A and B are shown apart, each in its own frame.
Chain A
Amino acid sequence: MSNPNDEIIRLEGICKNFPGVQALKNVDFCLRKGEIHALVGENGAGKSTLIKVMTGVERFDEGKITYDGKEIVIRSPQHAQNIGISTVYQEVNLCSNISVAENLLLGREPRKLGCIDWKAMNKRAKAIMQDLDVDIDVTQPLGSFSTAIQQIAAIARALEISSPKVLILDEPTSSLDAHESNLIFKVMRKLCSAGVGIIFITHFIKQVYEISDRITVLRNGKLVATHETASLPTIQLISEMIGHSLAEYDEMKKSEFVVNHKKALLEAKELGRKGMVEPFDLELHAGEVVGLAGLLGSGRTEVVKVLFGIDEPDNGCLIVDDQLIKKHSPFEMIMHGVALCPEDRKASGIVGDLTIRENIILAIQARLGWFKFLSKQKQYEIANKYIKMLNIATPSSDQLVKNLSGGNQQKVILARWLATDPKMLLLDEPTRGIDVGTKAEIQKLVINLATEGMGCVFISSELEEVMRTSHRVVVMREHEKVTEFAGEVSEREIMQAMAGGE
């Protein structure tokens, strides 16, 4: 356990206003040497903003920061880095098409006679990664490794640039499965035993307990409390985060579903695309939730992309509502009542510089075409309805989407698709980066939509979640559909199918 006087950084009375939003109200926070400090709270609670204040990305309005015993002003991210505060943001900011070694040492390549000494560079990079107990071929492009390795490479680069005293990780595990998260944890433990203070943001309560020494809870921009992890019961933590207890979490029950073999809403026969996904059969009935399970990179995303016409299939056929799909495109699929909530919300989900309202009506408007433009009044009506329904934290529907917190952006995309009133909903990691309370709400929403007759495909890296919501679980492995489970099935069975072999 660390000594309470070993404070590296202390923030006192921090206030931060954005137009229309007070993101931080009088927040205190302190980080000790060698501890892992979890920062938790609902979407929009102000976690990322607190981080940005600490790293000089945003100026705070009031308050003071003490670093290493002296009061300082952090002027810019560059400055923060120089004094030993390193950050890994949620979106990995490295280049996936160049090698791991280049990514790690970009700008500081070892040189010999003015030229880059590749041999020394690769050796150095290998050593850096081995320091973190990861043994990989550093000459391979970063993109060829799993997200976990990429995430670790991002951490390694942060460590390389400066030898930090404070390391900040903003939702590093949100898109990782349990095994991969463990890789990150190993790295974290190793660093903190070397005296680095780590701030860890996550929405996974389990991980908070697994790794952190202390927990700070924020709610609506205010500090709720800081606790020693060991002495804080889960129930209390959750109720501190969301302001009430999470009773509905357990009440949730999926509706009984009886397959009506006569009428499939969507039927894929031998559908596939070379290099993306091997031909597969899939049926989706009204009122049914089909879970897609599989490891990262097993081809789950590719399945829904081919179904939605993002990537045209080159094999097999797709029948929606008794009609054979001839032209595969998102527009065509929307016209057939299909909706896809994509996995990568930043790249293929939100349109950052448009307002929440415009983002929500985008897909409806696509269906209506160029000349049936929804009136402003109608747009506000739709937007406000979904802002209320999904509890999107924002002062108004005229806020730019890029100013929303990560989880709230995710909700806006969900709203966009719910607004089209689809008959089939394909959800690719819809709960990524979403807080516990809302996660339960979204799961409930999916179950309710199915009860009302919608067919849903549900992808998630959390097996628990897939099992809770789905009537049927399809397992993918290495871009191939390997099996399908209906009815009662144990987590073990699915895991085995996912891993294959043994």
Chain B
Amino acid sequence: MAESNASDADGPIIAMRHVHKWFGDFHVLKDINLEVGKGERVVVCGPSGSGKSTMIRCVNRLEEHQQGQIIVAGIELTADLKNVEAIRREVGMVFQQFNLFPHLTVLENLTLAPIWVRKMPKRDADELARLYLERVRIPEQADKYPGQLSGGQQQRVAIARSLCMKPEIMLFDEPTSALDPEMIKEVLDVMIELAEEGMTMVCVTHEMGFARTVADTMVFMDQGEIVERAPPAEFFANPKSERTRLFLSQILAH
């Protein structure tokens, strides 16, 4: 896509510098500094309420930051709606609760944004959508409604829906937390494939096996701060911070 000029730069595709955010008096994000390079896979973990969701939701401005600078795909996030919409076209997001549109069929869920945002002819959009359904291994569900699918299938549709916009970056906010255990793998498999194809990914998850497999960088957050940032081997083998060690011991215990 010619719309973004990030691909020709070697600089980070996401850059957060000294980002602060408050919910009322509550300081959720404290001086967040994070750079993600093109093709880099970042896995974010941390205890509940530490601000993980808030941080990645700032990347496509589902949440507004109040201080600092966020630059995504070469565009700075400001109150300017044009910039916000330009960034949202380049950033896909997958939610914990899937958030599929229940009044549209699976195929319509997938083609909606390409048709209305990318102005793609319907026939091309259909073709693209079927291609991605094939890739998330549910081509036969195209004409069903989301309510007729299992959780794992719905989440794969949600991933395909984001991919149909051909985003440069994919954000995942605990994509497997709402799933029954037997469905987690089918979603993670799709995500691993995506990582292998070189997609830039920022993923909030507690699936440490997945993190070990795909992550280039692990980020640990606690109380609104990035406490530790390291390659997975180092992160799991000898975490520097006491808080990280405590968290890992809890999460790896079961």
Q: Decide whether A and B are members of one complex.
A: no
